[in-house]
Structure 1
Amino acid sequence: MTDSPFRPFETSLDRDRALAQLRAATRGADDGELFLERRRSEALLFDDGRIKTASYDASEGFGLRAVRGEVAGYAHSSDISETALARAVETARLAVGDGGGTMAPPPARTNRHLYTDADPIAGASFPVKLETLRQIDAFARNLDPRVVQVSASIAASHQEVFILRPDGTEVSDIRPMTRINVSIIVDQDGRRETGTAGGGGRIGLDGLLDPADWQKKAQEALRVAVVNLDAGPAPAGVMDVVLGPGWPGILLHEAIGHGLEGDFNRKGSSAFAGLMGQRIASPGVTVLDDGTLPDRRGSITVDDEGTPSQKNTLIEDGILVGYMQDRQNARLMGARPTGNGRRESYAHAPMPRMTNTYMLGGKADPADIVADLKDGIYAVGFGGGQVDITNGKFVFSCTEAYRVENGRVGAPVKGATLIGDGATALKQIRALGNDMALDPGMGNCGKQGQWVPVGVGQPTVMISGLTVGGSAI
């Protein structure tokens, strides 16, 4: 077949000639692919009663990779042409040299579709999006006379990817993404506090532009802001902590999830390296990474190497049973790819990354878990955090937390930070609620300068002996 343009989008690149170039780049290699991408994104921010920014971005390009052993040669260009591809071949071949590797088999095929391929940017006109933002602003300001500032944003993107392998295998995926975010500042007697809520997923804008959806987000943002108006300084010391369901799973994602990615374990730099088959968590703790959840922010029909996403069990009843793998690390570790080879864009090489990472629920009533907390913190909202992958040590700030004494939830506290390490925290889990929930669809994960959308989730969880850092107001 000749003169066959690429799909799903047209390029000037001929498929057969591109395949010949790819084969030249990967001759003697263990693996490799040509990754083509087209992405369009739109973002609107309504702030202080007016449109502050309105942006529309479009980009396209390719990434060519040749892998041999632990080395990968990668070249990319925003110019999808035979000339640019020929230059990329020269770069990629530097990793292969004169080696005689055996090309890895292609990924399995799938006919599964986890989300719509409709363009969410075209799902609503610009005037409709602008009017929705105005309505959000007016609604939020009318909720409470203490509201002094409202920020609301709408974001949508449409990504098309096409992967060509040296054996001629072709894989494509069309990935939508949408999100609405609301932030509210309230003022009471000169004290100002902020509350934020939002979410979305790989869905169209229709549901998010429905007043029934964004009004709940505005009400939640206001609730968090008002709670913090009455917050006192957080206590400090080692104490038991109860984490709420859903978004607090971000602590699980950061403190534990990264440590279970294949590359860190292959290199021995993870706190969980060499512990396969051993107990690393309390009995009853089961953690999964699942890219197959329909319409979720972290889901992918196929990863950025063409491997279908999977539901991967990482920890089962406290025992380490799996890592997240891309193709290169899986091959080097004698494991199978798990559909976790992800990249930010065509300008980045893939690496093992999380999708939707969550802890399964237990049998305990969440109210009973809190009632069992004698002296500690009940944390239901989280902001930013930092983690050291080599030892799992983490520091997370709470955006909504409460003092608990003798099983009774007391006043909210402000400035609480949770300090610990993932390996120890896993073994100090004392109770799991029956209320496992996923986050509303607002997570992004950074690793080695690359950002990808992710999901998190967990039930209500009690962890004993965490260090809580307090802060005066």
Structure 2
Amino acid sequence: MTINSVKQNLLTSNNIHKENIYDVLNKMSDSKIEYGDIYIQSILQESWLLENGIIKTGSYHEDHGIGIRAINGSKTGFSYSNDINVDSLFKISKMACDSIYDKNYVNNKIINFNNVITSNKYNFINPLRGNTSEEKIDILNIINNVARKADKRVVDVNARILSNYENIFVSSTDGNLSYDIRPLIHVYISVFVEENGKREQGFMGGGRRDGYKFFMEKNNLGETNIIYWTLEAVRSALLNLYAIPAPSGSYAVVLGSGWPGVLLHEAVGHGLEGDFNRHGTSLFSNKIGKKVASSLCTIIDDGTIFGRRGSLTIDDEGTPSQKNILIENGILKCYMQDKLNAKFMDTKSTGNCRRESYAHLPMPRMTNTYMLPGLSNKDEIIESVGFGLYATNFSGGQVDITSGQFVFSTSEAYLIKNGKITNPIKNATLIGSGIEVMQQISMVGNDLSLDSGIGICIKDGQSIPVGVGQPTIKLNNLTIGGTN
């Protein structure tokens, strides 16, 4: 697959030519708008479902369309259509412009298109092709067989495989012209175990911007990814059979490496998105250059990591993705920006403009957000805790952007007593605020890892794939809601 195939799929096959794009954008400018863009997309999606050991469904979905946005000052006009043709381009662009018409704006003619040149951040591959339906079903059968053979207490195995293939075209009145091909796969595995009438669940999964071959690749332990994730789901479920109720109170918390970075994503990352800070509704508003975290903390949002779930060759305004330092040694350096919010904040886009599809308005969003490693090792971090909690996995949570207050539920956690990991615990809830968490970090491990590739971020009803990560970190004091 090449960028030329995107042009053929989205434009040429629909009798749309570069001259048509040029004419539409110039007509939009003639309508006295400050900025306008065209987003054309095709989406292919496939899903396979294993439920209670039975292959229940295999589904295929196709969608395509055009989304056109017009901006005057703080006003945005938006219209979309699932018909990709020249008539639709002119019709919906007029609708978008008419909704925000302002006679005071001066026409801004496009002189030349500038093709966006950037290195690919993933292979241009269509994951829906290259494997037969039988081969895809075999992956689900492997999950079922491995889980049930792992332990006789396994009573139910569920799994879902999702694969996406997107073609993207973006062009705008500032002369931008860009294309992208976006593959994406992931598998989610859920295992139930039962013993003496007690039933518990464990889950695991993974994915990346790649083809199905990734599921069968071996990790650094010598196991294929799909077998490793399945055994981890079984292990997690069995662990919960013997977990004791979590204690309540305020005490030290150690967060494991990898997926626990989802807490930073929610409690800190969203607060650093440009729109919240432009409107002054974030706890981090007006704090650029100020200390907002422990000096041990450096947080990055990086959409350039090859093949990662949250990576982008270009964002949804056509800006190349970037590696952005958000917080450096505790000092707030920048917010994540799209073109609109960057303009009002007198800065530039950071390549963080994202949207769920052509039918949605773009906004500043995270890509792969993580904390850089420190100098401590995991063992010495654990040994430094007299009594506390060690959390290695989370099942969900919520955050209030304005106050920064969050609530997160652990799905795998342990008590730490006298510097040693002891009993597994369940029903532990972490309660605090974003800035509180960042200031409570007293040790940062040297074991940075990223999540396995199942992150989904929801903002204003739009779901997008993201990545998270961190090293092991120690929080000196955090409120824990438990049942004991």
Both structures adopt the same fold (TM-score exceeding 0.5): yes
Distance 1:63 1:260 in 2: 26
Per the alignment, residue 188 of structure 1 pairs with: 195
Q: Deviations over 1:72-107 (max 9, x none)?
A: 111001111233333312321122422325759988
Bigger Cα displacement from structure 2, 420-429 vs 11-20:
11-20
- Tell me the secondary structure at the aligned position of residue 403 of structure 1: strand
Distance 2:114 2:262 in 1: 30
Per the alignment, residue 112 of structure 1 pairs with: 119
Per the alignment, residue 299 of structure 1 pairs with: 311
| Offset at residue 22 of structure 1 (A) | 2.6
Distance 2:170 2:68 in 1: 10
Q: Which amino acid aligns with 1:119?
A: N
Structure 1 residues 324 and 9: CA distance shift in structure 2, 3 A: farther
Distance 1:370 1:54 in 2: 45
Aligned counterparts, 1:254-273, within 5 A: 254-273=266-285
Per the alignment, residue 404 of structure 1 pairs with: 416
Structure 1 residues 77 and 7: CA distance shift in structure 2, 3 A: closer
Per the alignment, residue 96 of structure 2 pairs with: 92
Per the alignment, residue 135 of structure 2 pairs with: 128
Per the alignment, residue 55 of structure 2 pairs with: 51
Distance 1:245 1:203 in 2: 24
Structure 1 residues 179 and 6: CA distance shift in structure 2, 3 A: closer
Equivalent position to 2:456, from 441, 444, 447: 444
Verify the 8 A CA contact 2:66 2:359 in the aligned structure 1. yes
Aligned counterparts, 1:367-386, within 5 A: 367-386=379-398
- Tell me the secondary structure at the aligned position of residue 474 of structure 2: strand
- Tell me the secondary structure at the aligned position of residue 129 of structure 2: helix
With normalisation by structure 2, the TM-score equals: 0.93
Instruction: Flag structure 1 segments of 5+ consecutive residues without an equivalent.
Output: none
| Offset at residue 248 of structure 1 (A) | 0.1
Equivalent position to 2:425, from 413, 438, 451: 413
Q: Report whether the alignment pairs 1:278 with 2:290.
A: yes
Distance 2:148 2:180 in 1: 41
Equivalent position to 1:60, from 55, 64, 67: 64
Distance 2:188 2:458 in 1: 20
Structure 1 residues 366 and 97: CA distance shift in structure 2, 3 A: same
Distance 2:131 2:454 in 1: 21
Verify the 8 A CA contact 1:30 1:104 in the aligned structure 2. no
Aligned counterparts, 1:6-85, within 5 A: 7=10, 10-27=13-30, 28-85=32-89
- Tell me the secondary structure at the aligned position of residue 403 of structure 2: coil
Q: Which amino acid aligns with 1:151?
A: N
Q: Deviations over 1:156-175 (max 9, x none)?
A: 11000001223554200000
Verify the 8 A CA contact 2:252 2:475 in the aligned structure 1. yes
Bigger Cα displacement from structure 2, 45-54 vs 5-14:
5-14
Q: Report whether the alignment pairs 1:137 with 2:149.
A: no
Distance 1:362 1:8 in 2: 48
Q: Which amino acid aligns with 2:305?
A: L
Q: Which amino acid aligns with 1:16?
A: E
Distance 2:45 2:395 in 1: 25
| Offset at residue 204 of structure 1 (A) | 1.2
Verify the 8 A CA contact 2:161 2:187 in the aligned structure 1. yes
Q: Which amino acid aligns with 1:319?
A: I
Q: Deviations over 1:166-201 (max 9, x none)?
A: 355420000000112221111111111111111010
Bigger Cα displacement from structure 2, 167-176 vs 303-312:
167-176
Q: Deviations over 1:282-317 (max 9, x none)?
A: 112000100000000000000000000000000000
Aligned counterparts, 1:291-330, within 5 A: 291-330=303-342
Instruction: Flag structure 2 segments of 5+ consecutive residues without an equivalent.
Output: 1-6, 218-222
Q: Which amino acid aligns with 1:174?
A: I
Structure 1 residues 59 and 111: CA distance shift in structure 2, 3 A: same
Over the matched positions of the two proteins, sequence identity in percent amounts to 43
Structure 1 residues 9 and 245: CA distance shift in structure 2, 3 A: farther
Structure 1 residues 102 and 303: CA distance shift in structure 2, 3 A: farther
| Offset at residue 450 of structure 1 (A) | 0.8
Structure 1 residues 431 and 331: CA distance shift in structure 2, 3 A: same
Verify the 8 A CA contact 2:35 2:174 in the aligned structure 1. no
Distance 2:338 2:109 in 1: 13
| Offset at residue 12 of structure 1 (A) | 3.4
Structure 1 residues 338 and 101: CA distance shift in structure 2, 3 A: farther
